[in-house]
Structures are given as C-alpha cells and as structure tokens.
Copies of this chain bind each other. A is one copy, B any other.
Amino acid sequence: MLPGTTAALIRDPQVAAFLSDEAMLDRALRFEIALAEAAADCGAAPAAAAQALRERLAGFSPDLDAIAAAMPVDGVPVPELMRQLRPVVGPEGAAALHIGATSQDVVDTALVMGLSQVNDLLAARLASVETTLAALSARFGAQSLMGRTRMQAALPITAGDRIAAWAAPFPRHRRRLADLRPRLECVQYGGAVGVRAPQGDAIAAGLAQRLRLADAAPWHSARDGIAEYGGWLSLVTGSLGKIGQDVALMAQQGVDALRLSGGGTSSAMPHKQNPVSAETLVTLARFNAGSVGTLHQALVHEQERSGAAWTLEWLVLPPMIHATAHALTLAHAMLSGITAMGEG
C-alpha cells in the first residue's frame, strides 16, 4: 500500500523475497508434496499417487494474477491454487492431493516456513548489531559523556556506559528468539475443522520432519505463537529505537560531541546533516509498538477458524517483519558511521 519511495523507509529486500507471493506459493507446493509423501508413508494415500503428484508439481508455477483476483472472494489463496493444481496433478495424483488438509494448513505452514528463514536472517543481523556496538565501545568507550536523566544533565558517564545500556537487551533478544522459535515454527495440519483423521498425527509428524518444522498439535485457532512473535519483533525495534533516539539527541550541536557520517541532506539548508537513520529507528519502533497491539487483537479467534482474526494477522505481521529487518540494517549502518562520540 505504500508507494515505492515511502516503502523504501521500511522495506527489507530479503524479507520481501521470503514473504513474496512466489515464495509463499512455492512453499505451499512443497507443503502439498510433503503431505502427499507423509500420507503415503502412513498408507493414507497411494504411493504412486504421491509420486505422480511430486513429479507433476515439480516446476509448476501458479498463476498469481488469478489467485490475487480470487482473494477478495475466497479470503485465502488456496481454493484458487487447488483449482489450478487439480488439472496439473491429474487423476494419477489426485488421490494424494491435499489429503486431510484445508486452506489454513497450507497458509499457516507456508508462513512459518518463511518465518524460519526470516528468523535466521534476523538472528544474524542481531549479531551484527551486537558486534558493531562492541566495536563502538572499543573505540569510544573511554570517552567522557554527560549522563542525562529526564532530559537534563545529571552526572558524567563514559560513552562505554551508554553503549553498554544500548547493548544490554540484545543477548536477551537472542535468547527470547531461541525460546520462541519452537513455539512458532510448527507445522499446522488439522483439516477442515482442526480435527485430524486417525492417521493425522503420523502425517503431521512426517510433514514436520520433511519441512524442518516442529511437530505440533493443530494451532488453527490458538494464535499465541504469532502474537508472541510480533511482540518479540517490537522488543527488538524498541531497543533499536532507544538507540536511535539517543543518537538523535547526541547529534544535537553542542551537546554530546557525536558525529555521524552519511546524514541526510536538506532541500532548504544545504549545510545541514540530518540524523535520518536515527530518527527512522524511532519511527520503526513506534510503528511496531502500535502494530503489536493490533496483532494481539487477533488472539480473539472465534470457533474453529476466524476469517476476521486470521486476515488481520496477514495485514499486520509482514510490515512488522520488514520494519524489524530494516531497522537492524539501519542501526548497523548508523552505528558504523559514528565517527566521534563523547570527549577525550
């Protein structure tokens, strides 16, 4: 919904690749193939059908325009995807297609497969930020800085003291991510109303193994994993926003002797260097903070599937992920561009 120049303030290209329609539908196909195989392993589908399905789906590319066009009517991409897949798998593969599955199984599983990739990326970027903070401390940590409370000069500290406060949450964020991943990156397999057929547990286990996800009971209407994840994203951007706010304040002339390379230019004052990255970190923190509140509204997910609550997740979560990934990149660059901090 944001035009390209504005989107540039929040969009992360790697996240965009992981969450693109193409990637989502590719993972949907991998779900269908893994499902056919897992079902065949349990005797819930003919092995030949599973093999046929795998062969026919290899290299198939869904018609995205048709799926987008069906979206407002169906509310999910899967019914149209199935309309496209049935002729492709043909009668040979039909007996292994979408066995015991429903749209939500495909979409939720394809989502968390993508989130698994995202989380590897974010973990790496968190580590980069931590490394940069350590380097900053090594370089400027002994410099003197005025400690400020309630926006007033209080007592002198060192730049290292402040950098330590910036860095403190990141090991916790890493730990939180490690804690939550097994609760988030779980296969969803429950069928029409979230109740598995007799062999469903074995099929789910096979699916999980093939897709490198945690095995789990259906979570079709228990969305705490998604909401918890949104909270984590906002914790990360919140910690980065705190750094951004401090850097913007420190960049005030005559205050804390912080200098940044690569600041923004002004259309009216060519001499001025704006701490645009620092400010953007604050923006992204506030954006995610507000968004996490909206995402938690989707926890009230009525009955066996709430279209209203589920759809809300799709509108809110992806921008939060972009914001987090972009903020990490931005923070890394901003911190790397600090050329002076405190007084020697």
Q: Which A residues lie at the B interface, using CB under 8 A?
A: 1-11, 16, 19-21, 24, 64, 67-69, 71-79, 81-82, 98, 101-103, 106, 147-155, 157-158, 161-162, 164-165, 168-169, 172-173, 175-176, 179, 183, 191-195, 217-225, 227-228, 231, 234-235, 238-239, 241-242, 244-246, 248-249, 251-255, 262-269, 272-277, 279-280, 282-283, 285-294, 296-309, 311-312, 314-316, 318-319, 322, 330
List of B residues within 8 angstroms of A168 by Cβ: 217, 219, 222
| Cα(A312)–Cα(B285), bound, Å | 10
List of B residues within 8 angstroms of A280 by Cβ: 72, 75, 307-308, 311
* Shortest 10 CB-CB contacts between residues of A and residues of B: A293-B293, A238-B299, A290-B294, A147-B193, A289-B296, A231-B231, A279-B307, A75-B276, A149-B305, A282-B308
List of B residues within 8 angstroms of A288 by Cβ: 296
Known: A241-B300, A276-B74, A300-B245. A319 touches B150 (CB 8 A): no
A273 touches B228 (CB 8 A): no
A279 touches B322 (CB 8 A): no
B157 touches A195 (CB 8 A): yes
**Which of B78, B154, B162, B330 is A192 in contact with, Cβ under 8 Å?**
B154
Instruction: Identify the closest chain B residue to A279 (Cβ).
Output: B307
Known: A154-B192, A154-B193, A280-B75. A266 touches B296 (CB 8 A): no
Some 25 contacts from A to B, beta carbons below 8 A apart, are: A1-B7, A1-B11, A3-B19, A3-B24, A5-B68, A73-B264, A74-B274, A75-B280, A79-B267, A82-B267, A102-B268, A147-B194, A147-B195, A155-B192, A162-B303, A168-B222, A221-B242, A242-B302, A245-B308, A254-B254, A254-B255, A274-B307, A286-B312, A287-B312, A292-B296
| Cα(A72)–Cα(B5), bound, Å | 9
